[in-house]
Amino acid sequence: MVISHSVNLQPYNTFGVSAVAAHFANIQKREELEEAITFAEVEGLPTLVLAGGSNILFVHDFPGVILHIGNSGIRWLGGFPGSTQRVRIAAGENWHSFTKLCLDKRLYGLENLALIPGTVGAAPIQNIGAYGVELADFFVELSVYDRQSRSWEVMNKSQCDFAYRDSVFKKAGKGRYIVFDVTLELSGIWKPNLNYAALGNYLGGGKPDSKMVFDAVCAIRRSKLPDPSRLGNAGSFFKNPIISDEKFTVLSKQMPDIPRFDIEEKGLVKIPAAWLLDRLGWKGGSRGAASVHRNHALVLVNPGGATGEDILLLAQEMSSSVLENFGIALEPEVQII
Ligand SMILES: Cc1cc2nc3c(=O)[nH]c(=O)nc-3n(C[C@H](O)[C@H](O)[C@H](O)COP(=O)(O)OP(=O)(O)OC[C@H]3O[C@@H](n4cnc5c(N)ncnc54)[C@H](O)[C@@H]3O)c2cc1C
């Protein structure tokens, strides 16, 4: 395994901000991960797992070892013909390419999660979700290196403790688990999930096939979200806040048009952070070289030349304004390093 030194991370994060990592290890095999961790421990350095860099904001240089997970391989594990199929995917595989492969193989379920940037290994970290579907819906198990027990483990769905943009991997000590492969179960029987209104409306009723849903999701995403290869961003910067029914009743008296999404937990509702930010006029706003996308108040962008600190200051100002005006503390979805 090769460890490079003084590596600029600008090409490795979709915000496109500069930050220098003291050491950078390209990991393809399990032994290479263990070697890189030993190197960091011997040198007394912190580590950070970095994959596609589409959910990370670097605010400073990183003084330790970047563990860049780039393993590859997809293993079809079989299943019940015409019903379900299990598949084990290496963490370094690209998520969107994998959803396209499933579509081509007539294995269904991931259409609504098409075009989410990043890798398969990062998908369980925040339980990626879009258009009424989340990774947990198809999840079977994953292989991780547990730095606490210094061993390779297999974790099932309940051990992963998935929730809205959350999992045990975020709750456990940062960097404790390093995901190496993920096993999913997909259906061989097509059943569209059109519960999300924007998707159903786009398709306009009828009985869409899987390719129509896949293409619709890609088209809606392309029309709403900036392409990170053209305009630096990390998708939604904040999570949608979950508040109590009582709090919602108070807010809806002030703002009768405030939207709500019902969630499984009783007595709680989810409200769109973008709506709150939009109401405060943040769409298209800017501070220094960082700005808010003109069509989407939840997407912070780097039009060129912004530092991680510029983006963080803008995000802090936005969340303070939501707290002052609505009494709601926004939580970042992006990992701030
Ligand atoms: C334009 C755009 C749209 C987006 N839309 C969505 C969306 O609709 N829904 C959604 O959920 N997300 C969305 N995201 C966020 C992002 O795509 C996902 O969070 C994605 O899973 C991040 O993958 P990554 O490989 O880039 O991870 P990185 O950004 O490299 O890492 C993210 C976090 O996961 C950790 N991590 C990464 N890989 C591993 C591993 N193998 N083991 C342990 N920890 C690991 C990192 O340490 C870091 O804390 C969007 C981002 C962009 C830029």
Does 235 share its domain with 261?
Answer: yes
Does 210 share its domain with 167?
Answer: yes
Locate the ligand 1 atom nearest the alpha carbon of residue 177 and give its number: 43
- The protein residue whose alpha carbon is closest to atom 49 in ligand 1 is 335
Locate the ligand 1 atom nearest the alpha carbon of residue 130 and give its number: 8
What is the pLDDT confidence band of residue 226, given thresholds at 50, 70 and 90? very high
Q: CB neighbours of 137 closer than 8 A, spacing ≥ 6? A: 109
Read off the DSSP letter of residue 155. Answer: E
Boundary-marking domain end, from 51, 69, 87: 69
Does 219 share its domain with 259?
Answer: no
Task: Report whether pLDDT(263) > 90.
Answer: no
Pairing of strands 290-292, 299-302: antiparallel
Does 190 share its domain with 110?
Answer: yes
Q: Coil, strand or helix: which one is 290?
A: strand
Beta-ladder partners of 292: 300
Does 113 share its domain with 211?
Answer: yes
pLDDT the model gives residue 293 = 96
Average pLDDT, the chain: 94
Do 141 and 156 form a contact (C-beta atoms < 8 A)? yes
The number of domains in the chain is: 3
- Which among 54, 68, 220, 240 is the best mutation to test ligand 1's pocket, defined by most ligand atoms within 8 Å of the CB? 54
Q: How far is the CA of 246 from the centre of ligand 1 (A)?
A: 33
Binding pocket residue ranges, ligand 1, CB within 6 Å: 14, 48-56, 69, 91, 116-119, 121-123, 125-126, 128-130, 177-179, 225, 228, 233-235, 335
pLDDT the model gives residue 81 = 65
Does 219 share its domain with 89?
Answer: yes
Structure tokens at 315: 């995000």
Task: Please give the angle made by the CA atoms of 222, 225 and 226, to the nearest 5 degrees.
Answer: 95
Boundaries of domain holding 138: 74-223
Rounded distance between C-alpha atoms, residue 46 and residue 32, angstroms: 17
CATH of the domain at 159: 3.30.465.10
Task: Report whether pLDDT(125) > 70.
Answer: yes
Locate the ligand 1 atom nearest the alpha carbon of residue 225 and give its number: 1
Boundary-marking domain end, from 223, 252, 286: 223
Does 103 share its domain with 138?
Answer: yes
Region of residue 191 (phi > 0: left; psi between -120 and 50: alpha; otherwise: beta): beta
Read off the DSSP letter of residue 240. Answer: P
- Which among 125, 153, 174 is the best mutation to test ligand 1's pocket, defined by most ligand atoms within 8 Å of the CB? 125
pLDDT the model gives residue 43 = 96
Does 292 share its domain with 273?
Answer: yes
pLDDT the model gives residue 318 = 97
Q: What is the end-to-end Cα distance of the chain in Å, rounded?
A: 25
Nearest to residue 126, comparing CAs of 283, 285, 334? 334
Does 244 share its domain with 295?
Answer: yes
Burial 223-262 (b: 16+ CB within 10 A, else e): eebbebeebbbbbbbbbbbbbeeebbeebeeeeeebeeee
Tell me: the pLDDT tens digits for 271-319? 999 999 999 999 999 988 999 999 999 999 999 999 999 999 999 999 9
Does 19 share its domain with 62?
Answer: yes
Task: Report whether pLDDT(329) > 90.
Answer: yes
Structure tokens at 270: 């989810």
Boundary-marking domain end, from 223, 253, 275: 223
Does 259 share its domain with 196?
Answer: no
CATH of the domain at 263: 3.90.78.10
Length of the chain: 337
Locate the ligand 1 atom nearest the alpha carbon of residue 337 and give its number: 49
- The protein residue whose alpha carbon is closest to atom 36 in ligand 1 is 122
| DSSP codes, 159-185 | HHT-BTTB-HHHHSSTTSEEEEEEEEE
- Which among 116, 177, 229 is the best mutation to test ligand 1's pocket, defined by most ligand atoms within 8 Å of the CB? 116
Task: Report whether pLDDT(49) > 90.
Answer: yes
Does 122 share its domain with 211?
Answer: yes
Give catalytic residue positions. 165, 236, 333
Tell me: the pLDDT tens digits for 149-191? 999 999 999 999 999 899 999 988 778 999 999 999 999 999 9
- The protein residue whose alpha carbon is closest to atom 50 in ligand 1 is 235
Determine which helix (DSSP H) or strand (DSSP E) holds 206, and give its type and residue range: none
